[in-house]
Amino acid sequence: MKMKKKLVFIGGARPNFMKIAPIIRQTAKLKKFKNIIIHTGQHYDDNMSKVFFEDLAIPKPGYFLKTGSGTHASQTAKIMLSLEKIFKQELPDLVIVVGDVNSTMAAAITAKKLGIKTAHVEAGLRSFDMTMPEEINRIVTDSISDMFFVTERSAVKNLLKEGKRRDSIYFTGNVMIDSLFYALKKLKTRRAHFGTTDLKNKLRKYIYLTLHRPSNVDNKEALLNICGILGKAGKIYPIIFPVHPRTKNRLEKFKIKLSPDIHVIPPLSYTESLFIWKDAEAVITDSGGLQEETTALRKPCFTLRNNTERPVTVTCGTNILLNAANRHKLPAMLTGIKTGSYKHGRIPPKWDGNSSKQIVKILRSTI
Ligand code: UD1
């Protein structure tokens, strides 16, 4: 009997879970592979972690590490120490890391030092902004990985420029969109009642807001400025704001009071979040994932950042970047939406919900 090939999937923080889920669903169908899921515990609150596993039907992790929060060095080190033991014991044929969080980089370094082949899903994205911890994670992970699955052409270009071999780069599309279509279908087939259903029905026309980047929330002046602009935006459409623990903490620490037009709620599950934003008039965000998801559903998106590592959402999609100097234009742009004047965008190539199938097809023939 042939031995199964062991695939290790690393999930650590909220944005990882929707990326591993569709790939795991595909590999689970094949006798060739044995899936080993490791949750690093970088995110640990139920609403940042557990609900995503349930929501996206990810099997219970084989390993749950109790990493928790901390400085970047301590978080990364803790993850590496735990993973080293597991990798030595399990001897995986491939470690699959996704995205750009500390868990991604920690797993890639640990695997490669043990001589284990590593694949990076969502490789090659670059903001060219080294003040972003995620940019460092992306560069380190890509500099040592063996296989690169990319979401957009800019990433192919970046990897080639950095000296990667063309035959190690696979333009397979965006697994986030696989998860998006999966959840949309589920929402359509069952009449869901969520904790936020009443708020959604009451407001009818509203904006969906997420905010958690250190550059926006860790500095009091920056956060005060953003909250002032959001107060004005809230006069045009009320805002629904599921607040990330980092942001909640900073709002409390800086004693910032939000306008009453901003409805603050706890973080939402993946499906409930989609349930709200898919019917919003627009999304205001600094998240990476929402820039892509709004482009896929052609929903207006305003990104409060100076740059994006996902340029296709701007060149092709509905995304508009608003840097610190341009943020004041946000209320006027929201008024534009009332009259139908906004960027309608197009769907980027290969964002069709079949990305995980493409990835697994490649894994079948190479691993
Ligand atoms: C991390 C990722 C970021 C991603 C984001 C999504 C890195 C460098 N950053 O940022 O790329 O967009 O996740 O959420 O990996 N906390 C809780 N409960 C939790 C998790 C965090 O209360 O379950 C609080 C803690 O106070 C913690 C803070 O949030 O110190 C920040 O968490 P951390 O994992 O360090 O970074 P994120 O800002 O979540």
pLDDT band at 1 (very low <50, low <70, confident <90, very high): low
- Please write the tens of the pLDDT for every residue from 93-102: 999 999 999 9
Query: Looking only at Cα atoms, what is the longest distance across the chain?
Result: 66
DSSP string, 110-142: HHHHTT--EEEETTT-----TTSHHHHHHHHHH
Q: Please check the confidence at residue 2 and state whether its pLDDT lies above 80.
A: no
Active site residues: 212
Shortest-distance Cα residue to atom 37 of ligand 1: 246
Residue bearing tokens 């005060």: 224
CA separation for the pair 216, 225 (Å, rounded):
9
CA separation for the pair 362, 170 (Å, rounded):
9
Average confidence (pLDDT) over 21-43: 98
Query: Which has the higher per-residue pLDDT, 2 or 276?
Result: 276
Quote the Cα angle for 179-181-185, to 5°: 115
pLDDT of the residue at 6? 98
Average confidence (pLDDT) over 346-356: 98
Instruction: Output the CA 246–ligand 1 centroid distance in Å.
Output: 6
pTM: 0.97
Taking the CB of residue 298, how many other CB atoms lie within 10 A of it? 15
DSSP string, 57-71: TPPPPSEE----S--
Pocket test for ligand 1, best of 64, 218, 246, 248 (most atoms within 8 A of CB): 246
Burial class (CB in 10 A: 0-12, 13-18, 19+), 256: middle
Q: Please check the confidence at residue 8 and state whether its pLDDT lies above 80.
A: yes
Q: Please check the confidence at residue 189 and state whether its pLDDT lies above 90.
A: no
Taking the CB of residue 221, how many other CB atoms lie within 10 A of it? 8
pLDDT of the residue at 326? 97
Residues whose beta carbon lies within 6 Å of some atom of ligand 1: 13-15, 42-45, 48, 69, 100-102, 133-134, 212, 244-246, 249
What number does the ligand 1 atom closest to the CA of 15 have?
6
Average confidence (pLDDT) over 229-252: 98
CA separation for the pair 283, 240 (Å, rounded):
10
What number does the ligand 1 atom closest to the CA of 212 have?
38
Q: Please check the confidence at residue 84 and state whether its pLDDT lies above 90.
A: yes
